[in-house]
């Protein structure tokens, strides 16, 4: 019934994307490849948008899907998870086990109507500083297109 709960609901949808709005992007990067790739982008002075915040994890296999739900609920506009290319995993098969989870998760969120731009997965090697920046730019552009996150996000 919940007739009277003074509770927060889904954030109010905004019909237009505010002009000055900059999305908040979270990237989970595996220590051995993608984080190193991000470092290489820095060493190579490749410029990319300032929106991203990185959380370093040992392996893309460390990513619990719940982390991603938590991020979206909290209002993070986009999440990128990046690991080693298949076969390159420092932990032999961490990214391959993770890949199955990611495939399901990606479909799952899309299925309930979450914009596919919000949660993305990629492989970036330690030698691919440029690729890291390109993927990041793509994620930022994609999220900018779909605007601030509302679905799944809670205000208290």
Partner 1 sequence: MRQKTNLSDELKWVARKLFEENRIDLLIGYEKGTLPLHNRPCFVSSVEGVDKLVWDSLCANNLATYLPRLFTRTHRPKGWKPPRVAIVAKGCDARSVVGLIKEKQAPRENIVILGVPCDGVVDLRKIEDALDGACPVSAKVAEDGSIMLQLDSGKSVQVSREKALFDACSDCPYPDAPVFDIRIGREIGDKSARRPFKDVEEFEAKSPEPRWKYFLEEMSKCIRCYACRQACPNCYCPTCFAEQTQPKWLGVGADLPEVMYFHLGRIFHQAGRCVDCGACVRACPMGIDLRIFTRKMVKDVQELFGYEAGISLDEPPPLCTFKMEDDESFITEP
Partner 2 sequence: MAETITARAMEKKKFADFTRAIVDNGYQLYGPAIEGREAIIAQIAEQADVSFDYRNFKMSPKDLFLSQSEVLCRFCRGEIVPDAAADDGRRVLLGIRPCDAKAISLMDKVFLQEPADSYYKRKRDNTVVISAVCSSPEDTCFCTSVGGSPASTEGSDILLTDLGESYLLEPVTPKGEDFLNRFSSLTRNASKNEVREKERIVEEAASRMQKMDLEGIAERFAKAFESDLWDTPSQRCLGCGICTYFCPTCHCFDVTDETLHENGRRLRTWDSCMYSLFTLHASGHNPRPSQRERTRQRFMHKFSYSVDNYGELFCVGCGRCIKHCPVNIDLREVIAP
Partner 3 sequence: MEKTALVVGAGIAGIQAALDLAEMKIQTYLVESGPSIGGRMAQLDKTFPTNDCAMCILSPKLVEAASHPYITIITDAEIQGISGEAPDFHVKVLRRPRFVDAEKCTGCGVCMTKCPVRIPDPYNKGLTKTKCIHIPFPQAVPAIPIIDKETCIYLNRGKCRVCEKFCELKAIDFNQKEEVLDLEAGAIVLAAGSAEFDATLKDEYGYKTFPNVMTSIEYERILSASGPTAGHVQRPSDGKEPKKIAFLQCVGSRDMQVGNRYCSAICCMQAAKDAIITKEHSPDVDIAIFNMDIRAYGKHFDKFIDRARDEHGTRFIRGRISSVEVDPKTENLIIRHNMDSGRLVEESFDLVVLSVGLVSSSEQRDLARKFGIKLNGDGFIASDIFAPVNTGIPGIFVCGSLAGPKDIPESVMQASAAASAAAGVVSGYETRLIKREFPPERDIRGEPVRIGVFICHCGINIASTVDVEAATEYARTLPHVAYADHLLFACSQDSQKVIGEAIKEHGLNRVVVCACTPRTHEPLFQSTLREYGLNPYLFEFGNIREQCSWVHQKEPEKATEKAKELLRMAAAKVARLEPLYKMSLPVTKSALVIGGGLAGMTAALDLANQGYPVTLVEKEGVLGGNLTKVHYTLDGAETAPFLETLIEKVKSNDRITVYAGARVKEISGYVGNFKTTLEGVLQPIEHGVVIVATGAQPYEPSEYLYGEDSRVLTQEELEDMLKENEGKEKSPFSGMKSVVMIQCVGSRDEEHPYCSRICCTTAVKNALKLKESNPDLSVYVLYRDMRTYGLKENYYQEARNKGIIFIRYEEDEKPVVAMNAQRPEVKVRDRVLNGILAIHPDLLVLSAGVVANPDNPWLSQLLKVPLDADRFFLEAHVKLRPVDFATDGVFVCGMAHYPKDISETISQARAAAGRAATVLAKTEIEAEGKVSRVRAERCSGCGACVDVCAYKAIELDPVKGIAVVNEALCKGCGACAASCRMNAIDLKGFADEQILAALAEL
Distance CA 91, CA 85 (A): 12
121 binds, among partner 1, partner 3, partner 2, none (CB under 5 to 8 A by kind): partner 1
H or E segment and range at residue 81: strand 78-83
Which of 27, 131, 144, 148 is in the footprint of partner 1 by CB under 8 A?
131
- The verdict on 30 binding partner 1 (CB under 8 A) reads no
Pick the closer one to partner 1 by CB: 90 or 106. Answer: 106
Site string for partner 1, 70-89 (x = CB under 8 A): x--x------x-----xx--
The answer for residues whose C-beta is within 8 angstroms of residue 82's C-beta and 6 or more apart is 27, 28, 29, 30, 33, 34, 37, 60, 121, 122, 123, 124, 132, 135
H or E segment and range at residue 52: strand 52-57
Contact 116, 106 (CB under 8 A): yes
- The verdict on 153 binding partner 1 (CB under 8 A) reads yes
Contact residues: partner 1, CB under 8 A: 1-2, 5, 7-10, 65-66, 69-70, 73, 80, 86-87, 93, 96-97, 99-115, 120-123, 131, 134-135, 138-139, 151-154
């Amino acid at each position: 019934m919940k007739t009277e709960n003074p509770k927060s609901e889904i954030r109010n949808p905004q019909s237009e994307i505010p002009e000055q709005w900059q999305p908040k992007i979270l990237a989970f990067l595996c220590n051995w490849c993608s984080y190193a790739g991000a470092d290489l982008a820095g060493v190579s002075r490749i410029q990319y948008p300032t929106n991203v915040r990185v959380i370093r994890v040992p392996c893309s296999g460390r990513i619990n899907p719940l982390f991603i739900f938590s991020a979206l609920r909290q209002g993070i506009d986009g999440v990128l998870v990046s690991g080693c290319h298949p076969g390159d995993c420092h932990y032999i098969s961490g990214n391959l086990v993770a890949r199955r989870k990611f495939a399901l998760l990606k479909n799952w969120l899309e299925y309930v109507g979450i914009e596919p731009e919000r949660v993305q997965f990629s492989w970036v090697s330690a030698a691919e500083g440029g690729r890291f920046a390109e993927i990041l730019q793509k994620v930022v552009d994609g999220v900018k297109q779909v605007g601030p996150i509302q679905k799944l996000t809670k205000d208290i």
